[in-house]
Structure 1
């Protein structure tokens, strides 16, 4: 039970030794109900010292994490302040009630609609000052799905004092607001989406083409043209619709049945702002239920219980019975209309997510815009219609990772950009690479006939690389689902900024586009074009202490190092820590929600390691623990599968990265243990240098001179001195990176 102290018009609730709720209500009435943001205030008891009064103050509250002082009266005039039990600030660790917190690391925003490049972000929960304050004063109360205004005005703040332990801050935030739910396994695969007037035949032909090209698509998205958009003017805009356009989709049930038979899930786009109008097939039933006449529209209002019931039962349920798995809620309108009217986006997200979760227990899903802190309980986020430009791509890694600072971990971007821009195959490939290492990979574009993102629309070398990366995403699903489970149960997100776990390392703050990806990987996306001479692009990388291996080349890197990483178009810097274990699905065309009968296990040898593979099916969970003993070259497998959801006699295919001439043995398990594969470095440093010189647009004589120096230089220092004289920056950087890794 949390410790609660009341004095005058102030109420202090100590939730943990580093988290405290502070309420000031001139009326003396405080809010005990849950809110849009806060869904739990019952924490484990902690040791608290309360002095009421103390010799100098009306109230003092002391824990191992903070010391609160209150002098009575209005706290906003300097009468309430807190000292944190750490010193992350330059001069002091004191915060005064009402003050902003400095050096905030930012959060996220509602949408990136029409953004070309960067856009300002509001404050999040994390700060280099080591404290943060979350203001819940303006949120409505939320009990289940019932949203209502507060009855009495009060200032309602939550003060966090976890220092640079950002993960603990986030975990406490999730305890307070609710942990993110599990994402259905199928959502972790590749999504195909486009704002385009497909016919039924065209759409099925497109899906067949993806299958023919061995490009796995898990989620089929139909944008707004699934319903009529050209409607009589008396009904208003054609953006809202709930009736199949039979000119384009003459047999919609057959379409959905076919897509399901192919192992895909289906979502439809809906713009619900115009309500339900007389042109809809469901309107007669809606009009009867709501007692409407004379073609009177059913005004969109989810705070109206009768409309809400008709909205789901009569407009959505028939489409869901036909095979629609979840909804893309495309709400672009404003926020709250008044002090008693809730932001409709909040209501949409809550109602649709809870409705979908009731139909699919443990696997609820929506695609919608961010509605503010607390939105992480209703995933997934649609970030809006971005401009297809390098500037937009350069902003997205930072934007995605930084959203974790307000707990919003499941962003889905328009991979490749939605609109405008120009044809740029390299940009599309780089964006797709980012998508593979994003929470959700959803290809999308406008209806412009030259803008579609099918890989075969690009030059053959780009198309081949795109195909490989989309296949890699399918291979990574076991790894992604385990991270998904960890987010849900422990609050450790799939994507974390580099300063998570490294808060006292200044370099961790200097790589805004680099992020941790699951338990084993660090990703540094390339977001600029290659140069004209070396055909290489670069990005800044900071590797924490330890030994790291490039996922694509197998080359080893010493950690505790900041450098520029150079890559050709078809690769990006992804580093795996030595001792890590990464499970992969080798059958890329397997439906994403099917557990694989074979697993490839990449073991990055050089240190002991343990990995917990968590899988879900049919409402059950299985956990497989892989343990690697590096000295003995022994892999042990322990399975906990009480519901027997893992395929019988699953085959595990170990692949040792960096090993030569070793033997792997396994404990006895229900799994078959296939012949092990041993791979040393995919490329040696010398091989990779030679390859990159081969493809550089440089004079042959210069290439030979560089190669001879690399091979024969009498000392490392002399070689680096020679490299510094080269006039090609990317060549200088690439050689320096590889010769000092």
Structure 2
């Protein structure tokens, strides 16, 4: 009888919700997706209550005394059209219950509005700690999200108030659950260009509860299902952005780009700050800036003194394969001095004789439509790629109460590009709140130039992934000097900041208008230039890996830069080492944010258990499950690769506008591995369905390594038919032979670019250059080693390449400190080892063992060089001996 009753109740609830639910549906937008329809998993136990089972762990709970529930998309929840979820409903002792595989919701029938006495949820997923929740419960351990801006912050301390920055709460918490009260969130209407509207019933409840335990990745994935995906930025966005607040003319920018080319520095985006346009005193904002000067920021008309022919300038930038963005401060509206004023006035039906400013009003669809149609879209057709929207004025719309200007401008600018353009939309603005992840890239504001700011930015960036806002762009190098500083750019600080920027989501240098802040690389010399050059080229080298991870962000909601606790939630170190982060799935970064001492900076790094980690810049394979303290020279950085990982990379690329056919597969010491290389058109809007993957796998045995490059799967417009692969096995012994598809591959003579294999001594790597092949073909690489090479591999991956580097550097410096120094045999032979390995890889074992023996003899033999004690101690100390 009970089963029959439950079956009747279940069927009745489905029929009832089918009849009453979702009369309206909205148009789908790729970035602001509004898909509001019945997914079938809806239960209405009574007229005033509606529950929607969205996933096995995520439930929507609505109470409305009128019984007229909200079916429109809200700002934070834009999709409820999810796959059917298995669940059961039951009723006993006056309680109505919904149970899925992971949660059970209990509601006291007929008890009205949700409260602590009539609603509760239990979470009991397999392998997870049980969780109980009821209304009013407060999280104790939220892992935080992000903040609107870092303007005027030195690290996380405000320079005016002295207060510490408090980040907003995020989706993730060690409490294991997330509660979203969406009752006051604004809604989208059902017009063709969806617009903001208020809810009709202020007293209604619209809640979402999600339980996840410590499965943080699942929680973020579940939120993307209802909150929308993180759009994939165009490929060029992952290149280097040059930005400076400076009154550049087009001639100066052409000279700038010429120097980038001269010094072989990659570049993809030109960011032109506000001086591109005219300004008028009539458009001054009400408040002064921090220096007391009036803010004449708004402008829409090119300054012809700086840019005499803007379309020609944009045409030139396009010819250089550069994307251009212009800074906008729209708060003052449209003034009578603007060239677009007359047409704008007519479109707005204003009195053309008044010659008054047309005030900015973001909530007016008419105003915004005309802003895009009359002012902005024509400039985009001439070559402006996207907009840097720099709203710094009143936070809330002046006529629409509760409408955040930051949030709303992100939506309107992004969705207009989406509606009207054929390129992938992108917006560069500030964080506006939950749901703003759908409008991609954030500008974090005007930070102070200090080690504290550099130290704080990794944590700030990583925690933002907890609200899916994974594409923060910082003013790399800092924006402005702290007060009372000597206004001298610290070259070491800037270099370390560049190294972090190269391993951050968006790589953009910037600074305020100051003649003391000349961050162009050619203004640096020696080791500072070299380290910055290496960092920028490393960024471009890693773009295939970065872009593959960016696609994963779109698919799963997991950001490129994310906290360690996503993968290691049970390890306390994942929470305490909050500045280090995962850079995609296979890389761990521990940013350096302190100055060097004695030529090196020491950094403590937590290496999680479950894998070994390869310290890329020193060639050291370290055991996981420990905290290590490591030393790094200026051109080194704490980059750790999972043992055995395969990292797809570019080679010989200085611009990302086109897909490159030259791919390097970096294979790192360790065991078997599988990965995929993602590709798409790079800048079209069809990436959701038009893309391709190439699978790469490795299989290692005692005396052999097999690498398989599988045929590419998928297609997209402009896809290359052929690729030229280079396979680099880092920390590898020299091979006995290399076979490609069963045929023996010849050894190259030194560093020629012909197909074949060679051994690279400086980083102890085997380099295999393959012939150009069809991407539809399968390539099998077999590397055979000599017996006993396993022990040699352990020897070379104990930092031998770092020893090469230190010995060469400090022996050269020693010759300067002491003229006519006579080097003992142990040092002389050690210095020549890396070159001998390239010349005679067949003697690999002998050469490596001799180096190890000779290096151990250096402390004893160095005494015979008749050095002063302080020089001897300096030399041996720098060698780590």
What is the TM-score normalised by the length of structure 1? 0.89
The match for 2:221 among 171, 185, 203 is: 171
**Higher alpha-carbon deviation: 79-88 or 102-111:** 79-88
Residue 130 of structure 1: how far off its partner (Å): 1.2
Match of 2:624 among 559, 564, 571: 559
CA 1:6–1:674 in 2, change beyond 3 Å: closer, same or farther?
farther
Matched, 1:150 2:199: yes
Is 2:729 aligned against 1:656?
A: yes
- 2:169 maps to what in 1? 123
Write the mapping of 1:8-27 to structure 2, written as runs, cut at 5 A.
9-27=48-66
The corresponding residue for 1:446 is 512
1:459-608 paired onto structure 2 within 5 Å: 459-531=525-597, 533=598, 535-589=600-654, 591-608=655-672
Q: Distance in 2 between matches of 1:37 and 1:229?
A: 36
Task: Sort the Cα spacing of 1:569 and 1:242 in 2 relative to 1 into closer, same or farther, 3 A.
Answer: same
CA distance in 1, matches of 2:82, 2:665: 39
1:341 positional shift: 5.2
Does residue 63 in structure 1 map to residue 123 in structure 2?
A: no
Matched with 1:635 is 707
Residue 100 of structure 1, aligned match among 117, 138, 146: 138
Contact in 2 for aligned 1:537/1:568 (Cα 8 Å): no
Inter-partner Cα distance in structure 1 for 2:713 and 2:754: 17
In the superposition, relative to structure 1, how do residues 644 and 303 fare at CA in structure 2: closer, same or farther (>3 Å)?
closer
Question: Deviation string for 1:177-233 (max 9, x for gaps)?
Answer: 111111101111000011111111111101111111111110001000000235457
**1:650 partner SS:** strand
SS of the equivalent of 1:453 reads coil
- Cα distance in 2 between the residues matched to 1:366 and 1:108: 18
Q: What's 1:111 paired with?
A: 149
C-alpha distance 512-732 of structure 1, shift in aligned 2 (>3 A): farther
Q: Is the 8 A contact 2:618 2:801 kept in 1?
A: no
Can you give the 5+ residue segments of structure 2 that lack an aligned partner in the other structure? 1-39, 157-164, 287-294, 743-752, 765-795, 819-823, 825-851, 859-872
**1:235/1:80 Cα in 2 relative to 1: closer, same or farther (>3 Å)?**
closer
- In structure 2, how many angstroms separate the alpha carbons of the residues matched to 1:648 and 1:15? 42
Distance apart, 1:312 and its partner CA: 0.7
CA contact (8 A) 2:573 2:606 kept: no
Contact in 1 for aligned 2:410/2:429 (Cα 8 Å): yes
Which deviates more, 248-257 or 618-627?
618-627
Find the aligned partners of 1:518 and 1:233 in 2 and give their Cα distance: 45
Secondary structure in structure 1 of the residue aligned to 2:726: strand
Pick from 299, 306, 315 the counterpart of residue 241 of structure 1. 299
Distance 1:474 1:136, change over 3 A: same
Distance 2:442 2:207 in 1: 26
Counterparts in 2 of 1:315-330, with a 5 A limit?
315-330=375-390
Distance across 2 between alignment mates of 1:250 and 1:124:
47
Which residue is equivalent to 2:462?
401
Structure 1: any 5+ residue segments left out of the alignment? 714-727
Shift of 1:274: 1.0
Q: CA deviation digits over 1:392-421, x for unaligned, max 9? A: 111110111111111111111111111124
Q: Write the distance in 1 (CA, Å) between the matches of 2:616 and 2:658.
A: 26
The CA deviation at 1:732 is 11
Q: 1:387 aligns with which of 445, 448, 463?
A: 448
- What is the distance in 2 between the residues matched to 1:340 and 1:374? 19
2-structure distance, mates of 1:640, 1:539: 42
Tell me the secondary structure at the aligned position of residue 97 of structure 1: coil
Cα offsets for 1:302-356 (capped at 9, x unmatched): 3223212210111112211221111111111233347645222222111211222
Task: Answer yes or no: is the 8 Å Cα contact 1:102–1:129 preserved in 2.
Answer: yes
| Alignment: residue pair count | 708
Q: Which deviates more, 92-101 or 442-451? A: 92-101
Indicate yes or no: 2:415 matched with 1:377.
no
1:723-734 to 2 correspondences below 5 Å? none
- 8 Å CA contact 1:88, 1:164 repeated in 2: no
CA gap 1:7/1:390 in 2 versus in 1, 3 angstroms: farther
Cα deviation, residue 522, structure 1 = 0.8
CA separation of 1:302/1:479 partners in 2, compared to 1, >3 Å: closer, same or farther? same
Specify which of 207, 230, 236 is matched with residue 186 of structure 1: 236
SS at match of 1:499: helix
SS of 1:303's equivalent in the other structure is: coil
Residues 1:227 and 2:277 are matched in the alignment: yes
Name which one, 1 or 2, has greater alpha-carbon Rg: 2
Question: Aligned equivalents of 1:648 and 1:75: distance in 2?
Answer: 60
**Corresponding residue for 1:724?**
none
The 1:89–1:391 alpha-carbon spacing in structure 2 relative to 1, beyond 3 Å, is farther
Structure 2 CA distance for aligned equivalents of residues 360 and 595 of structure 1: 22
Matching residue of 2:427: 366
- Residue 654 of structure 1 and its aligned partner are, at CA, apart by 0.7
Corresponding residue for 2:500? Answer: 434
Mapped partners of 1:732, 1:558: distance in 2: 25
Report the CA distance shift for 1:49/1:467 in structure 2 as closer, same or farther (over 3 A).
same
In 2, Cα distance between the equivalents of 1:384 and 1:541? Answer: 30
Contact 1:653–1:673 under 8 Å retained in 2? no
Distance 1:734 1:387, change over 3 A: farther
The answer to which of 380-389 and 539-548 deviates more is 539-548
User: Matched residues in 1 for 2:358 and 2:177: separation?
Assistant: 47
Equivalent residue runs for 1:704-715 within 5 Å: 711=856
SS of the aligned residue for 1:268 comes to strand
Deviation at 1:505, TM superposition (A): 1.5
The whole-number CA distance in structure 2 between the counterparts of 1:542 and 1:626 is 25
Q: What CA distance in whole angstroms lies between the structure 2 residues aligned with 1:89 and 1:21?
A: 22
Distance 1:87 1:627, change over 3 A: closer
Which range moved further: 16-25 or 178-187? 16-25
Aligned-CA RMSD value? 3.1
Instruction: Quickly say closer, same or farther: Cα 1:633–1:644, change in 2 above 3 A.
Output: farther
Indicate the residue corresponding to 1:685 in structure 2: 799
- Whether the aligned pair in 2 keeps the contact of 1:430 and 1:526 (CA below 8 Å) is yes
Deviates more, 1:301-310 or 1:511-520: 301-310
**CA gap 1:25/1:644 in 2 versus in 1, 3 angstroms:** closer
Paired residue secondary structure (1:164) = coil
Q: What TM-score do you get using the length of structure 2 for normalisation?
A: 0.75
2:480 matches 1:419: yes
Q: Give the 3-state SS of the residue equivalent to 1:76 in structure 2.
A: coil
Distance in 2 of aligned mates of 1:279 and 1:332: 22
Cα gap change, 1:346 to 1:685, in 2 (>3 Å): closer
Check whether the contact 2:697–2:708 (CA below 8 A) recurs between aligned residues. Answer: yes
- After superposition, the Cα gap between the structure-2 partners of 1:16 and 1:400, relative to the gap in structure 1 and judged at 3 Å, is same
Partner of 1:193, secondary structure, is strand
Partners of 1:5 and 1:25 in 2: how far apart?
Answer: 12
**Distance of 2:800 and 2:730 partners within structure 1:** 18
**Shift in Å at residue 518 of structure 1?**
1.4
Q: Distance in 2 between matches of 1:233 and 1:268?
A: 19
- The residue aligned with 2:36 is none
Larger deviation: 183-192 or 511-520? 511-520
Partner of residue 721, structure 1? none
